[in-house]
Structure formats: C-alpha cells, structure tokens
Amino acid sequence: MAMRRGLRRALGAGAIVALIAGVVAFSFAFDAGAISVGAFGATIGSFLSGVGNGRLPVTSAYVGGQVNNTPQVSPGCGRAAPFAAGNSEYEYIAAGGLSRAFLLHIPTGYQSSRAYPLLLSFHGTGSTAANMQRMTGFSTLADQAGFVVAYPQGVRGPYGATGWSSGGRGHPTLNDTLFVSDMLNTIQARLCINPRHIYASGFSNGGGMTWMLSCMLARRIAAFASVSGSYYPVKGSCEPGRAV
C-alpha cells in the first residue's frame, strides 16, 4: 500500500537528491561486494515508491518504426492481456530491421480497466533478460505492488557478448533507442499502461543504456535509475527536453 501511495506522489527536489546519493552509494557498495544482488531489487523498489511527477503531457498518437519521444495514451486499455496475469513471457517485435525480444511480466490481479506503471529493467554486458528478472526480483515486487515490468534483451556486440548500444568498445552499435521506443509502443498497445508512470533502470552496461534514454526519451520516460552504470559520451548531443 505504501508503494501504491508513493507512485501517486510527486517527486520533490529533496527526494531527487536523496535518490542520487543513494544510488551512488549503492553502486560503490555493490562493486565492492558489500551488497547482494537481492538488495539491488529492494533499492530500486524503494526508488519506485517515491517517483511519479505526473507532469508529462500525453497525446493520443501512436507511432511505430521511428523513435517516439512523445507520451502516448495506451491503446491496450480495455483489451484482454496477451497472457495470464502473474506470469512472464517473451515478446518479439521487429525494430530497426531486426527481430528483438523482451521478457514481459504482467502482475497478478491485472485489470485492463486500470492504468498500470511500467518499469523497464536493462541487463548488463553478457547477461540476459531472464537473468535480470532473477537478479532484481522485480517481478515478485510487481505482483505485490501492482506494476508491469519489461526486461529488454540486448543483442550481441562485436566481441560476442550481449549488451546495449550506449557507447564503449565491444558494445553493439545498432539503434537501441528505436528498439525501446517500439517496445513501449507494443507494450502500451497490449496492456493498459499509465503514460506518466514509465520508468527505466539498469545495471552496468544496462545502466549506461538507462542514462542514454534519459537523453533520448526523457519526454516519454518519467524517471531513471542506474546502478554501476558504464557511461560514455552521447553521440550528437544530450537534449532531454525537460529536467531529468
């Protein structure tokens, strides 16, 4: 109940400072081995309990095949879910000329008449969507608190390891921002998602992808949390369009 109430509250300046300080401290502790992977899920769960500024404008347009940085009304409201609530299944879409996958978890008790928050959780280099689900425990948390989780699957880079196009040697170089945009379109078409409560988190290379999205999709994603992220210069410029 506390998390549900928190998701409805605005995120104040003091909470932003506390979040940044907490994530930085957590990153150092995680790298040092002082915090377990289970604590990672608990930390971002606490983050989710306080975010949601509710100030992102929403349009009714639905755009696919190009990066869409405009919040969308969810066409999935009122439609039957693609699979049973309380379960996780892989979904596949065409993005940038490739077949891309993400692991989608629908929380128990899902109702298509209610708009749910959505959390994106990006795995690190060499990992998988399924590993990220196990490591974070977000699906269990989603069942308890009532939100949808998507674990995107990265593709293999030039060194053969899965990852994200967020810069750095050996990482993929395709347009992962387009993949995320098309994935959001797909999820919102199939499920009832609150467009003002879409969040992104990630670990390591996935953390770098999270911060990349804070430059590229800040008008569509409300807030971002990165743990032990790998950060590289953004190609072009970082113009989020709002304070992030």
**pLDDT level of residue 23 (50, 70, 90 thresholds):** very low
How confident is the model at residue 227, as a pLDDT?
Answer: 94
Distance CA 163, CA 126 (A): 6
**pLDDT level of residue 58 (50, 70, 90 thresholds):** low
**For residue range 156-213, what is the model confidence (pLDDT) as tens digits?**
887 888 989 887 777 777 889 999 999 999 999 999 999 999 999 999 999 999 999 9
pLDDT of residue 130 exceeding 90, the answer is yes
How many C-beta atoms lie closer than 10 Å to residue 111's C-beta? 12
How confident is the model at residue 88, as a pLDDT?
Answer: 98
How confident is the model at residue 31, as a pLDDT?
Answer: 36
**pLDDT level of residue 222 (50, 70, 90 thresholds):** very high
Mean local confidence (pLDDT), 98-123:
96
Distance CA 100, CA 150 (A): 13
Q: How many residues does the chain have?
A: 244
**pLDDT level of residue 101 (50, 70, 90 thresholds):** very high
pLDDT of residue 57 exceeding 60, the answer is no
Mean local confidence (pLDDT), 101-116:
97
Sorted by where each starts, the structural domains of the chain and their CATH numbers stand as: 56-227 (3.40.50.1820)
How confident is the model at residue 56, as a pLDDT?
Answer: 52
Distance CA 195, CA 118 (A): 8
Average pLDDT, the chain: 79
